[in-house]
């Protein structure tokens, strides 16, 4: 079993905890209070800006075969995910430009940016976000919310193209072959940050 498969096994119970979180359940049902989603949207927008920086820092260290993968991941984050947030912002009254990082966002982005100093460990640290959202999207899409704005959110992360990007990171982790114990540690810490992120300020 490759390192990424090991991470999936470790991460599934932690993903289930996210599925049970009131914020995720509210999105899934389509009745999450708008103020909660607005706060989450602002925080995630700030997170994704740094996520692009994480990909860029890893790209500097990447082998030639995966330089394009990281450029693609940064491009997809900037254009697809951030465009989703920009398109949803007006409907929820979100102030993306004036938003300030809350404690969960600041802690998570700091962790990722520091982790990206090491190529293999950085990939393991960021994998919870890609793998987690792709898996959440796929699960929620089986019974999507009727509310169109929340449906758009689910559809973005359930998209097969997003799943393909997550799968590319899995391959990169396996090929980078970081120390398995360190990879598990970084992945678990990332999953813990993912869960904490749903506790929007």
Whether residue 63 is predicted with pLDDT greater than 80 in this model: the reply is yes
Non-local CB neighbours of 101 within 8 Å, separated by 6+ positions? 43, 46, 109
What per-residue confidence (pLDDT) applies to 1? Answer: 63
Q: Of 76 and 199, which is predicted with more confidence? A: 199
For 78-97, write each residue's pLDDT tens digit: 998 899 899 999 999 999 99
The 10s digit of each residue's pLDDT in 104-137 is 999 999 999 999 999 999 999 999 999 999 999 9
- Confidence (pLDDT) at 2: 87
pLDDT of residue 188 exceeding 90, the answer is yes
For residues 169 and 116, give the distance between their C-alpha atoms in angstroms, rounded to a whole number.
14
Identify the DSSP state of 21. S
Q: Which CATH number does 3-198 carry?
A: 1.20.910.10
pLDDT at residue 69 above 80? yes
For the chain, the domains span 3-198
Residues in the chain: 201
pLDDT at residue 201 above 90? no
Predicted pLDDT at 80: 87
Express each pLDDT in 25-41 by its tens digit: 999 999 999 999 999 99
- How much of the chain, in percent, has pLDDT values that exceed 90? 94
- Half-sphere exposure (CA, 13 Å, Cβ side) for 38? 11
Give the per-residue pLDDT at 21.
Answer: 98
Tell whether the model's pLDDT for residue 192 goes beyond 90. Answer: yes
Nearest residue to 37 via CA among 47, 50, 22 = 22
Whole-number average pLDDT of the chain: 95
């Amino acid at each position: 079993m490759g390192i990424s498969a090991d991470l999936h096994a470790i991460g599934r119970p932690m993903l289930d905890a996210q599925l049970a979180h009131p914020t995720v359940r509210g999105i899934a049902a389509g009745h999450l209070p708008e103020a909660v989603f607005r706060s989450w949207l602002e925080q995630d927008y700030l997170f994704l800006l740094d996520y692009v920086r994480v990909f860029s820092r890893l790209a500097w260290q990447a082998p030639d075969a995966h330089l394009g993968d990281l450029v693609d991941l940064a491009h997809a984050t900037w254009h697809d995910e951030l465009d989703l947030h920009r398109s949803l912002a007006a409907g929820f009254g979100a102030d993306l430009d004036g938003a300030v990082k809350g404690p969960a966002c600041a802690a998570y982005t700091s962790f990722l940016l520091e982790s990206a100093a090491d190529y293999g460990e950085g990939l393991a640290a960021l994998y919870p976000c890609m793998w987690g959202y792709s898996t959440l999207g796929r699960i929620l899409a089986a019974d999507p919310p009727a509310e169109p704005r929340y449906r758009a959110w689910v559809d973005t992360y359930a998209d097969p193209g997003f799943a393909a990007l997550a799968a590319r990171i899995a391959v990169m982790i396996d090929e980078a072959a970081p120390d398995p114990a360190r990879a598990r540690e970084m992945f678990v810490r990332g999953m813990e940050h993912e869960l904490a992120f749903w506790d929007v300020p």
